[in-house]
C-alpha cells in the first residue's frame, strides 16, 4: 500500500514544489491500465479526474473504497509523514476534503531511474541519516506543528496578551511561530508593532508603541510581514521579519528599502536586524530563496526554534567570532 501510494504521487507529480497534492482517492482508484499511460497529459488528467464523483479509469481498481482509512492513517499519517517522506499541505483544515499529501523532494529523487546503483545506495543512506535519526524526527515533529487552528484560522497570541485570528495557510503558521516562539526566545522584552498577511495587508499594528519609539507605520509595499521591537535594551532593537512560505526573503533590495524606513525614524543601523522566517530548512522554499538572502541578515526555522543562521558580512576571520 505504501508503494502504491508513492507510485501514485510520482505519477501525478505530487512532489514538493510542484503545488500538486493527492488524497487517498487517487490511490484506491488507480488501475494497472491507467498506470502505464505515462505521458504528461494522461497523468495530469488522472490527478484532476480522480477527484470527480463516479470517475473510474479503465481496468480493475488497485483497492476498494473502504481502504481510504488505511491509506490515510496507517500508510500516510502514521507511516510516511512521521519520517519526512511525505509532506502535508499546510493550513488546510482537518475537515477539508481537498487533497493534501505530496512527496518530500529528496525522497522523490530516490526514485529517479537514471541514478546508478552505487550512487543510489549513497543517496539512500544520506536520506536515512537526515530523516530517520532521533534529532531529525524531533525536527520533523516541530515542523509539522500547526498551532491552534480554529475554523480554518490560525490563532496568534501577542506578547501583550492580545490574540488575533489569521487566515489559514503556511504563512500564518510561520507568523504565529515568529510571534509566539522566536520573539520570546531571542528578544528580552518583545513587542509586535506590525503584522500583515496575504489576505489582509494590515492585520495588527501597535501604533502606541511604534510612535513611542519614533516609528511611523503606514501600509506600504515596502513593509515586511512583521515588525518586532525589543524594548528591553537601552536603545530599542527593531527587527524586520519576512515570512517565506514560497517566496519573498530579506534580499539586498528589501534590506535597503527597510533601512530607508528605519533611517527616516532616526534609528541607528546597528539597532536594526533582518530575519527571514521559514517552516523548515529541508523544504523547497528555503532552497529556492537562500541565494537571495542578504548578507548581514538572519534565517530562522520554526522546526529548529533554538537556532539562528547568520549570514556574516564581516571581514573577521572565523577564529575571531
Domain ranges of the chain: 1-144, 154-311
Per-residue pLDDT of the chain (321 residues; tens, 9 = 90+): 999 999 999 999 999 989 899 999 999 999 999 999 999 999 999 999 999 988 989 999 999 888 888 898 889 988 898 888 999 887 676 667 889 999 999 999 999 999 988 899 999 988 888 877 766 666 666 665 544 444 457 888 888 888 887 877 788 889 999 999 999 999 999 998 888 875 545 456 666 666 666 666 665 556 788 999 898 888 889 999 999 987 789 999 989 989 988 888 788 999 999 999 999 988 888 988 999 999 999 999 999 999 999 998 776 555 554
Euclidean distance between CA atoms 308 and 183, whole angstroms: 12
pLDDT confidence of residue 25: 94
pLDDT confidence of residue 141: 63
- Helices and strands in the chain: count of H runs, count of E runs: 13, 12
pLDDT confidence of residue 202: 47
Q: Supply the DSSP symbol for 89.
A: P
Euclidean distance between CA atoms 128 and 114, whole angstroms: 20
**Cell 519526512, located at residue:** 84
pLDDT confidence of residue 136: 66
Residue in 133, 129, 228 with CA at minimum distance from that of residue 185: 228
Euclidean distance between CA atoms 277 and 94, whole angstroms: 25
pLDDT confidence of residue 145: 55
Largest CA distance in the chain: 73
The pTM (predicted TM-score) of the whole model is: 0.57
Is residue 157 within 8 Å of residue 225, measured between CB atoms? no
Handedness of CA 53, 58, 61, 62 (dihedral sign): negative
C-alpha cell at 172: 500564518
Euclidean distance between CA atoms 216 and 204, whole angstroms: 14
Residue in 243, 241, 245 with CA at minimum distance from that of residue 258: 241
Give me the CATH topology for the region 154-311. Answer: Trna Endonuclease; Chain: A, domain 1 (3.40.1350)
The secondary structure of the chain in percent helix, strand, coil, rounded to multiples of 5, reads: 40, 20, 40
Close Cβ partners of 197 (under 8 Å, ≥ 6 residues apart):
166, 167, 169, 171, 172, 175, 203, 225
Angle, CA of 82, 83 and 87, to the nearest 5°:
70
Amino acid at each position: 500500500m505504501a508503494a502504491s501510494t508513492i507510485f501514485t504521487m510520482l505519477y501525478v507529480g505530487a512532489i514538493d514544489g510542484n503545488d500538486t497534492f493527492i488524497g487517498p482517492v487517487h490511490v484506491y482508484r488507480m488501475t494497472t491500465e491507467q498506470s502505464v499511460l505515462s505521458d504528461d497529459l494522461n497523468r495530469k488528467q488522472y490527478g484532476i479526474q480522480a477527484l470527480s464523483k463516479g470517475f473510474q479509469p479503465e481496468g480493475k481498481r488497485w483497492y476498494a473504497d473502504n481502504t481510504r482509512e488505511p491509506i490515510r492513517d496507517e500508510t500516510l499519517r502514521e507511516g510516511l509523514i512521521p519520517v519526512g517522506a511525505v509532506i502535508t499541505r499546510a493550513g488546510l483544515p482537518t475537515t477539508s476534503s481537498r487533497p493534501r499529501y505530496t512527496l518530500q523532494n529528496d525522497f522523490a529523487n530516490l526514485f529517479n531511474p537514471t541514478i546508478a546503483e552505487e550512487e543510489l545506495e549513497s543517496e539512500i543512506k544520506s536520506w536515512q541519516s537526515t530523516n530517520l535519526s532521533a534529532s531529525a524526527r524531533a525536527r520533523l515533529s516541530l515542523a509539522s506543528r500547526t498551532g491552534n487552528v480554529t475554523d480554518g484560522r490560525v490563532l496568534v497570541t501577542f506578547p501583550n496578551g492580545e490574540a488575533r485570528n489569521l487566515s489559514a495557510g503556511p504563512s500564518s503558521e510561520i507568523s504565529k511561530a515568529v510571534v509566539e516562539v522566536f520573539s520570546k526566545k531571542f528578544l528580552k522584552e518583545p513587542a509586535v508593532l506590525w503584522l500583515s498577511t496575504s489576505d489582509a495587508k494590515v492585520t495588527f499594528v501597535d501604533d502606541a508603541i511604534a510612535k513611542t519609539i519614533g516609528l511611523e507605520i503606514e501600509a506600504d509595499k515596502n513593509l515586511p510581514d512583521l515588525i518586532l521591537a525589543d524594548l528591553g535594551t537601552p536603545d530599542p532593537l527593531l527587527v524586520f521579519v519576512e515570512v517565506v512560505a514560497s517566496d519573498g526573503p530579506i534580499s539586498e533590495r528589501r534590506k535597503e528599502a527597510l533601512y530607508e524606513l528605519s533611517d527616516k525614524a532616526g534609528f541607528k543601523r546597528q539597532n536594526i536586524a533582518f530575519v527571514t522566517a521559514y517552516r523548515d530548512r529541508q523544504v523547497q522554499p528555503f532552497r529556492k530563496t537562500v541565494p537571495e538572502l542578504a548578507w548581514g541578515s538572519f534565517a530562522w526555522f520554526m522546526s529548529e526554534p533554538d537556532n539562528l543562521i547568520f549570514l556574516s558580512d564581516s571581514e573577521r576571520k572565523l577564529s575571531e567570532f
